[in-house]
Amino acid sequence: MNRITTDINLIVDELRNGHVVSLPTETVYGLAADATNNFAVEKIFKIKNRPFSHPLIMHVSSDWDLTQWVEQVPEYVVDLINSFWPGPLTFVLKLKKNSDISQFATANQNTIAIRCPDHPLAIEVLNRLGRPLVAPSANPFGKVSPTEAQHVIQDFAEDSFSILEGGRCSIGVESTILYCIDEHNCSILRQGSITRSEIQNFCNVIEPNNMSSIRISGNLKSHYQPQKNLFYFYSSDVSLIKSRLINLDNSYVLSFSLSFEKSEIDYLFSSDPKKAATDFYRQLRKADQSDKDIILIELPPETPEWNVLNDRIKKAGASCRYLV
Ligand code: TXA
Ligand code: MG
């Protein structure tokens, strides 16, 4: 049986002894293990049912010297680290040969993804352990990410590991991932709350070429999926949805605009993109647990501050146009 705990000593001991635990971060809860312990890292893949071809993000404390693990840290990455760490920004860097990081963590590639989480408990665990931790989101592979300890319990009812209680995640969506192998340019591999325009203040952001050779699971066409079928639509489709679509009574409707009557929807997200992001997975989980048959969700506006939610919704479902 899984258990939620507030005992940091227990969590650090378990990590030291090669166990997997769940830790809170500012983005989502992670399933963590000592990045240098092959057996421990392998367990994460088994628990999540994650293919071994999908590498993990390594979490470090903000003042640790990254050159222990990577060949070089481009100057713009140093500047980005100074501005955004601790925080939801992950860098993919060239892994040093003969590093002590488990090959399961890197999926045997010659790169490693690294970030420093902005959560006091995660930082304390890292500092007390003194070793980096790999931590994918604490959900079964391909499913909705957890933003509360209770979500982790629900998703892994059959497993037996400790979950450190750290409250609700303040950001609520996974970190922005930057591919930083080039000395001057970077590419965004996964959208997150740190936006392209914030990154462009530090370096050129170019389209990733040859993405297919970069194994990034958040980049699969479908991801972040609830159990129920989820269909999304544009605000411009609202009248079509109302007139032609299915019986709204059978649908759990999540909206980002005021184009519906209150009685027609189940939840209206905040018009503030950051607040809506914090709330997003929690509401998706509620929709999934409801007694409705399907989930209908309106896409937020197509402006940069809404990119991350547009990205997650499109990967979590299919267009409503298949239905009408
Ligand atoms: O906010 C986050 O990043 C959360 C919290 C727990 O820190 N973690 C997270 O991990 O979202 P996960 O495993 O759910 O997503 C990590 C993504 C995957 O899409 C993986 O393919 C990609 O990072 N990734 C990891 N290492 C990589 C590498 N070397 N090159 C390219 N992509 C990599
Ligand atoms: Mg994930």
Atom in ligand 1 nearest the alpha carbon of residue 30: 6
Which SS3 state, helix, strand or coil, does residue 8 take? helix
Ligand of minimum distance to the alpha carbon of 218: 1
The CA 63 to ligand 2 mean position distance, Å, reads 25
| pLDDT one digit per residue (tens) for the chain, 324 residues | 899 999 999 999 999 999 999 999 999 999 999 999 999 999 999 999 999 999 999 999 999 999 999 999 999 999 999 999 999 999 999 999 999 999 999 999 999 999 999 999 999 999 999 999 999 999 999 999 999 999 999 999 999 999 999 999 999 999 999 999 999 999 999 999 999 999 999 999 999 876 555 555 455 656 888 999 999 998 888 887 777 655 667 889 999 987 888 888 999 999 999 999 999 999 999 999 999 999 999 999 999 999 999 999 999 998 877 665
* pLDDT of amino acid 217: 47
* pLDDT of amino acid 100: 95
* pLDDT of amino acid 223: 81
Contacts of 187 (CB under 8 A, 6+ apart): 178, 179, 205, 206, 207, 208
The CA 113 to ligand 1 mean position distance, Å, reads 7
Query: Quick one: CA dihedral 124, 128, 131, 136, positive or negative?
Result: negative
The CA 309 to ligand 2 mean position distance, Å, reads 15
Place of tokens 């392998």: 42
What DSSP character marks residue 70? B
Beta bridge partners of 115: 59
* pLDDT of amino acid 209: 74
d(CA 42, CA 44): 5
Which SS3 state, helix, strand or coil, does residue 305 take? helix
Atom 29 (ligand 1) nearest CA: 112
Both structure tokens of 83: 């501005």
d(CA 215, CA 54): 6
Atom 22 (ligand 1) nearest CA: 216
d(CA 298, CA 296): 7
What are residue 219's phi and psi, to 5 degrees?
Answer: -100, 0
* pLDDT of amino acid 244: 67
Number of Cβ within a 10 Å radius of residue 85: 19
* pLDDT of amino acid 97: 93
Alpha helices, H only, 149-237: 149-155, 196-200
Length of the chain: 324
Ligand of minimum distance to the alpha carbon of 145: 2
* pLDDT of amino acid 245: 58
Pocket lining for ligand 1, CB < 6 angstroms = 25, 27-28, 30, 54-57, 88, 90, 92, 106, 109, 111-113, 117, 135-137, 174-175, 177, 189, 214-218
Ligand of minimum distance to the alpha carbon of 27: 1
Number of Cβ within a 10 Å radius of residue 148: 21
The H-or-E segment that residue 310 falls in is helix 307-316
Burial of 250 (0-12, 13-18, 19+ CB in 10 A): exposed
The CA 265 to ligand 2 mean position distance, Å, reads 28
The amino acid at 195: T
